[in-house]
Amino acid sequence: MKNYISLNFNSNNNNMKVYQDNEIINLSLLGSAGSGKTTFAECIYLFNSPLQ
């Protein structure tokens, strides 16, 4: 089973490209100061890295 991510924030526009998870190379975390961007990024890293 493959995972697909569609970045469609406008429900009226159905012409947006659908990306497979192995095609995504950049990720952006946006938020105000103190909103937990670094904590969230660290959690993603720790949960997706092999345990040592």
Q: DSSP of 20-33, one letter per residue? A: EGGG---------T
Q: How confident is the model at residue 3 (pLDDT cuts 50, 70, 90)?
A: low
* Residue given tokens 């190379």 in the structure block: 25
> Using an 8 Å Cβ cutoff, are 47 and 35 in contact?
no
Is the CB of residue 22 less than 8 Å from the CB of residue 3? no
* Domain range list for the chain: 4-48
- pLDDT at res. 19: 79
* pLDDT, position 35: 92
pTM for the model stands at 0.47
Note whether 31 and 37 are within 8 A (CB). yes
Residue 38, classed as helix, strand or coil, is: helix
Q: What is the pLDDT of residue 44?
A: 83
pLDDT digits (tens, 9 = 90+) for 12-52: 656 777 878 788 888 788 899 999 999 988 888 888 777 65
